Structure 1
Amino acid sequence: MEKEVHPVEVFAGTSAQATIVKSILESAGIYCFLKDDIMGTLFPWYTSAGGAGAVKVFVSDADFEEAKAIVEEYEKNIQ
């Protein structure tokens, strides 16, 4: 029996930010995927950090705590 995977949003931002976060998470061995990244490509002015049109990064609920810590460190370093 396979274990169910429940995706959880761990980050929302611009297309560029979401791509960077995805790369950082994958480097840490955490599988993740982007949602709404096509909107960020087609209409970059529509995507705003945390806004309605933001590009979102999702991880498995099992990896959420580790991923959230990594994202928080990333956010702390970009300010």
Structure 2
Amino acid sequence: MCDNFKPKPVIVFSGNTMEANVVKSMLENASIQAFLKDEHIGSIAPWQVSAGGGGAVKVIVSSLDQQEAEEIIARYERNEDQ
């Protein structure tokens, strides 16, 4: 790894408050630290943070955990479609 590499926060999921909280819990159960962006305003006035109000609440993780987080979220989304 490059010595000057600095982890950055990345958005790995966007959805409504309930979906974002489920994803955040799943990531934390996998020992991935995550937090929600726009949790409150995304519930009260989602059109203020997202065009049309869709995907107003974002789940953020470190870029170091991005790949693992995206794999967990992909499994969650596959199961949700069934």
Q: TM-score, normalised by structure 2?
A: 0.78
After TM superposition, what 4+ stretches of structure 1 lie above 4 angstroms from structure 2?
none
Q: What is residue 40 of structure 1 aligned with on the other side?
A: 42
SS of the residue corresponding to residue 10 of structure 2 reads strand
Give the Cα separation in 2 of the matches to 1:59 and 1:30. Answer: 7
Equivalent AA in structure 1 for residue 76 of structure 2:
Y
Instruction: Look at both structures and tell me which one has the larger radius of gyration over its CA atoms.
Output: 2
Equivalent AA in structure 1 for residue 29 of structure 2:
S
Q: TM-score, normalised by structure 1?
A: 0.81
Q: Please report the RMSD computed on the Cα atoms of aligned residues, expressed in angstroms.
A: 1.7
- Unaligned ranges ≥5, structure 1: none
What percent identity do the matched residue pairs reach? Answer: 46
- Check whether the contact 2:16–2:43 (CA below 8 A) recurs between aligned residues: no
Q: Do structure 1's residue 59 and structure 2's residue 61 form an aligned pair?
A: yes
Matching of residues 1-79 of structure 1 within 5 Å? 4-43=6-45, 46=46, 51-52=50-51, 53=53, 54-79=56-81
Equivalent AA in structure 1 for residue 58 of structure 2:
K
- Unaligned ranges ≥5, structure 2: none
